[in-house]
Structure 1
Amino acid sequence: MNKKLDLFLTFMKIGAFTFGGGYAMIPLIQREVCTNKKWMEEKDILEIVAIAESTPGPIAINAATFVGYRTAGFIGACLATLGVVLPSFLIISLISLVLHHFQEFRAVKYAFMGIRAAVLALILKALWSMFKAAKKGAFAYFIMGVTFLLTAFAKIDAVFVLVGCAVFGIIWSAIRRKEQTHDTP
């Protein structure tokens, strides 16, 4: 079989039969890529997971893109990414077609109330985890407060706020670095 087609079908299978999010896909990606297909070694997967975790976007999509690129270049990256995304896209599209007909049922409304509550709890858990892991100080609390005010009350798009915070952080870091070099003898 053509390696590029095999890459697409492998990641389509991973995308279709792995439930529980991107982290649940990692063992399947490792088994398929290292054990079954022998495209990479175990140490390569660990590097790919580390890179996929540190780049923006879902970890499973990032991992598929990196594996595809290492295995078959740019086209491989595109095919592996498409393969891992396509099953979810199709399933969600089908559900949305059917859901439209059932959204007025009381049981469906209650189910979505429960889902919204669960999603809120997951977001709060992620917020708490990130808060515990983040460096804290006056600067961090200032940025956090300003960011909250700008997005919640001034209705400024979060993308612009994030870019502004990044620029502000770079400037602040440069000022602090300059101060530190002047303070050392």
Structure 2
Amino acid sequence: MIFLSLFITFFQIGLFGFGGGYGMLSLIQHEVVMNHHWMTAGDFTDIVAISQMTPGPVGINTATYAGYTALQNEGANQFLCILGSMTATFALVFPTTILMLLISRYFMKYKDNASVRLVLDSLRPAVVGLLAAATLLLMTKENFGSYSEDSVGFIFSAGLCVLTFVCIKFFKVGPMKMIGVCALLGLVFTWLTGGFCA
């Protein structure tokens, strides 16, 4: 049954998703696209984009949308799709909540313990690796297009990526402003290239 599969899948992601929401993205993508085939890579890319634009943690938002989309692609009705989103969200949050309650109780007491420090120091490279995997996961044909199919669109997408990085890193422009600027530039580009229907 898909609800049980959703629960088990997102429970495992919640349990092992070190590095926060962006660290979970590669795990979620592997499970919902490659392992269970609940959606296509294009669907997942759209879900990640929506998750980043809506309020809340990106990992939880992605789980919510992925649960809904998985049921929708199975042909379920609206009510079951909502239950799917609730199942995926609860399963993702549940192990994290339990772990944080346990850790917060003992962390301050044992944070200077050599064994605890060793475990935390050992997790840092794994977190960096998960974040790097999430970055590479988003550098796909679905996000940037294909140079061989649409060279102008590909160059525009890559240019927006570089522009966003430079503005945030060196000019300290807020991410929300850059989202607005990129959305506006995307609309203008689509209008200029005839992407809108009359």
- TM-score for the superposition, normalised by structure 2: 0.55
Moved over 6 A (4+): none
- CA contact 1:65–1:77 (8 Å) conserved in 2: yes
Q: Name the aligned partner's letter for residue 101 of structure 2.
A: L
Partner of residue 21, structure 2: none
Partner of residue 49, structure 1: 39
Report the CA distance shift for 1:99/1:172 in structure 2 as closer, same or farther (over 3 A): same
Which structure 1 residue ranges, 5 or more long, are not aligned? 1-6, 31-45, 179-185
Aligned residues: 155
Which structure 2 residue ranges, 5 or more long, are not aligned? 17-26, 52-58, 148-153
Match of 1:22 among 20, 25, 28: 28
> Which one has a larger percent helix, Structure 1 or Structure 2?
1
* Alignment partners' CA distance in 2, 1:141 and 1:66: 28
Q: Name the aligned partner's letter for residue 103 of structure 1.
A: K
How big is each residue's C-alpha offset from its partner over 1:41-76, in whole Å with a ceiling of 9 and x where there is no partner?
xxxxx4x42345531245544332345673561752
Percent of pairs identical after alignment?
Answer: 13
Q: For the pair shown, which has the larger CA radius of gyration, 1 or 2? A: 1
1:116-131 map, 5 Å: 116-128=124-136, 130-131=138-139
How big is each residue's C-alpha offset from its partner over 1:101-130, in whole Å with a ceiling of 9 and x where there is no partner?
332233433433332223223333443454
Q: Name the aligned partner's letter for residue 108 of structure 2.
A: H
How big is each residue's C-alpha offset from its partner over 1:69-105, in whole Å with a ceiling of 9 and x where there is no partner?
7356175256424432342332342244133333223
How big is each residue's C-alpha offset from its partner over 1:19-39, in whole Å with a ceiling of 9 and x where there is no partner?
653256549x96xxxxxxxxx
Structure having greater relative contact order (Cα 8 Å, sep ≥ 6): 2
* Alignment partners' CA distance in 1, 2:180 and 2:132: 23
SS in 1 for 2:68: helix
Task: Confirm whether residue 62 of structure 1 aligns to residue 65 of structure 2.
Answer: yes
